[in-house]
Structure 1
Amino acid sequence: MVNNKPARNQTSASKSPSVLMLVVCVAGIYGSFLSWSYLQEKISSKNYSSEDGEAYFKAPLIINSVQAFFAMLVGTAYMSVKSRRFETPAHFLFQDRKMLRNFVLIALSQAVSSPIAYQSLNHLDYLFYLLAKSCKLIPVMLVHRLLYGSKFPTYKYVVAGLVTFGVVVFSISNRAKATSNDGRILLGFAYLFVSLLLDGLTNSTQDQLFSKSQSKKITGAHLMAGLNLLNTVFTFSYTALFTRQLDYFRQFVANNGREVVQDILMFGLLGSLGQIFIFLTLENFGSLLLVTITVTRKMFSMCLSVFLFGHQLNASQWFGLLTVFVGIFLESFYKMFAHQKKID
């Protein structure tokens, strides 16, 4: 009995994550996604013209294909390192037809949602787009409720209301005119609303997949690699067969130089690496710390957008922005409170 206690304590201590790991995870998430967010706005709003004209890049499916391809490669490497043997997404995707159907459903919703969201940037300001994307709680709750019959505590509805109210206040107070937007705000809202609903379907189905597939040991690394493989196939196939975006991309680069190519490649790489740090944080430190890191990362992304791209915010817009953050932090507080209550 006496000899076993130190052994257990030593084992527990050896398995506990280090402070250095935490620093690496935080630095990875901040560095990857702050840079990723900067490139996202740059690609969507920069005038790449090499002359005096205008040349705004409008081929979102190219961006999504590159992002999915990089994430598939990085996810496969991450999955292989975790399992200590080389493993590809095909190794587990085709073992179970029901699991494959769920993966296909999630991948299709992701593949459709992202280009629709990018399309909204033709009509909406990027800062509003970034704020609205923070409203994923609403469509996730809606899809969970309608498709899976899930119920939520009262504070979830309060958070959803605060975030929605903040976004509405921000949007109706937005008087800034972006040169890359055409001012068709209602059409932009429609695109963004459909994208958010698809995001809700994606996240809700992912929850169901994890809950039903625990015996199959589906991890975040499996999900990252498998979904991005399917996304690469779906998005690139649709782009090549049903759109002219490949031709547009080649012509755009020929006319305006390769800066946009470099931005898209870096965008895909940074987004892929950022996913790795998110999963590392989740596995080593839990969801509470991850929520804190990602919430503050979103705040810094918005502040970075304001200062680097010259957005002018009035008092109402700052109020809307603050309301969104109050809602997000309220959710984090309740999660922390619930977790502490379980421990006690």
Structure 2
Amino acid sequence: MSAYVGLLATSMTIVRLATCVSGVYACFLLWALVQEKLSTTAYTNGENDDVYFRSSLFLNTVQSLASALSAFVYLNVRRTPGQSVKQLLAFNGGKTKYMLTGIVRVAVLQAIAQVLGFTSLKHISYPTMVLAKSCKLVPVMLMNVLIYRKKFAPYKYAVVLLVTIGISMFTLLKKSSKASTQTDSSFGLSLLFANLIIDGLINSSQDAIFQNHSINGTQMMFWMNLASSAVTSTAMIVGLPAIPLLGKTDSTSPEIYSAIHFVKAHPEVLKDIGMYAGCGALGQLFIFETLQHFGSLALVTITLTRKLFTILLSVFIYNHKLSSGQWAGAATVFAGISVEAAVKRKEVLDKRVFEEKKRSELKSL
């Protein structure tokens, strides 16, 4: 009987893992394809063959609202009997004000990062962006070294070096070597670099919130996306000043008007926006489910392979032409990330072994 129960438990674990992996892959591979379409593909209505969707604030508002809603539903599904709404949403008296203040600051940074990332796709290919954003270690290390004078293990510097070399190869070893193309790519990479720097600030700020407040990942997802939707919708309705470098040349017209006008002229874009928001929201829930039941090691492996497949899918679906040097650059980046993942895996396993030994020693006493 016990053998049957053990077999059933193992089977359920395998089914859960397969569901999580399939969910992350399906949601984020489709999300990536739709993101590339929204940012780089022209929509037509029979009159104009070269009209692009440029309302990044509108897109991010819809995405944030969908993610906040899905997080709220998920929290309620997992709600324990007797748990109040305040407990469900991590309200903790006076400390909540400071937590929400920190979350709003992160939301502002996130809104800026999203606009920079979306705009960079006008100047670089989608595979380049995915490759550059594949290693979060680079901006995090850079911010810690420059601001906090923190030191890291030697292997992390080696990983950063490999990633930097790989991205440089991928960007510079293109088949087209025209000066205008090189300049365009350099500007796109500059926007992406700024995006990565802000990502580093966001990650360190989120870490501080987790350390100083009693909040879990799904609660953070809810509050972060609720705050982000408030920030982006306000910017979209009030309007931003003209920023030519980011493609905004009109300071008098709030973005919400151009977004509504585009949707009316090209209603087919609503399907893409809906898929983008829905896939992003569901994908985040699959990530939290994976993290809760299988830990960070499984999530790192899934995320790493998912980004590799994202690049391959983008190349084949949108017919990107990559040179052998670019393939070598991509391989170099993933080699660096794989080294980081392998070392992290060893560190976590060593920690588990150490904890097991400590528990065994305590029991023997």
TM range (shorter): 0.7 to 0.9
Cα separation, 1, equivalents of 2:92 and 2:285: 20
Asked whether 1:19 is paired with 2:24, we answer no
1:273 to 282, 290, 305: 282
Return 5+ residue gaps in structure 2 as ranges: 241-253, 354-365
TM alignment of 1:284-295, pairs within 5 A: 284-295=293-304
State which of 204, 220, 228 in structure 2 corresponds to 1:223. 220
What pairs with 1:148-167 in structure 2 (closer than 5 Å)?
Answer: 148=148, 150-167=150-167
Alignment check: 8 A CA contact 2:70 2:281 kept: yes
Does the Cα contact within 8 Å between 1:123 and 1:182 map onto a contact in 2?
Answer: no
Q: What CA distance in whole angstroms lies between the structure 2 residues aligned with 1:69 and 1:189?
A: 29
Summarize the Cα distance change of 1:17–1:208 in structure 2 as closer, same or farther, 3 Å threshold: farther
- Give the aligned residue type for 1:263: D
1:248 and 2:258 equivalent? yes
The equivalences for 1:81-92 within 5 A come to 81-84=77-80, 87=85, 92=91
Give, in angstroms, the shift of residue 111 of structure 1: 1.4
Which of 228, 233, 236 is residue 236 of structure 1 equivalent to? Answer: 233
> 2:338 aligned with 1:329, yes or no?
yes
TM-score normalised by structure 2 residue count = 0.83
| 1:264 counterpart residue number | 273
> For 1:209 and 1:91, how far apart are their aligned partners in 2?
12
Q: Cα 1:142–1:202, aligned 2, differ >3 Å: closer, same or farther?
A: same
Aligned residues with identical type, % of pairs: 37
Amino acid at match of 2:62: V
CA distance in 2: counterparts of 1:104 and 1:15, whole angstroms: 42
Partner Cα distance (1:192, 1:94) in 2: 39
- Say which SS state the counterpart of residue 310 (structure 1) adopts: coil
1:60 aligns with 2:56: yes
Q: Aligned ranges for residues 119-198 of structure 1 at < 5 Å?
A: 119-148=119-148, 150-175=150-175, 184-198=184-198
Aligned-pair distance for 1:117?
A: 1.0
Offset of 1:226 from its aligned partner?
A: 0.4
Q: Which amino acid aligns with 2:53?
A: F
Cα distance in 2, alignment partners of residues 232 and 248 from structure 1: 18
Aligned length: 328
Whole-angstrom distance in 1 between the partners of 2:197 and 2:145: 13
Q: Which residue of structure 1 lines up, in the alignment, with residue 71 of structure 2?
A: 75
1:130 and 1:93 map into 2 onto residues whose CA distance is 38
Q: 1:316 to 1:64 in 2, by over 3 A?
A: same
Q: CA RMSD in A?
A: 2.6
Verify the 8 A CA contact 1:139 1:196 in the aligned structure 2.
Answer: yes
CA distance in 2, matches of 1:17, 1:329: 29
CA separation of 1:45/1:225 partners in 2, compared to 1, >3 Å: closer, same or farther? Answer: same
Tell me, yes or no, if the aligned pair for 1:124 and 1:183 is still in contact at 8 Å: no
Q: What displacement does 1:183 show?
A: 6.4
Correspondence for 1:33: 28
Displacement of 1:184 in angstroms is 2.4
Which stretch of structure 1 is more off in the superposition, 94-103 or 82-91?
82-91
Q: Secondary structure, in 3 states, of the residue corresponding to 1:135?
A: coil
Select between 235-244 and 20-29 the one with higher mean Cα deviation.
Answer: 235-244
Which has more radius of gyration? 2
- What's the CA shift string for 1:200-241, capped at 9, x where partnerless? 00111112222233xx2x100110000000000000100110
Q: Given the two structures, how large is their TM-score scaled by the length of structure 1? A: 0.88
Confirm or deny that 1:42 pairs with 2:34: no
User: Structure 1 counterpart of 2:77, which letter?
Assistant: V
Could you tell me whether the CA contact under 8 Å between 2:64 and 2:225 is conserved in 1? Answer: yes
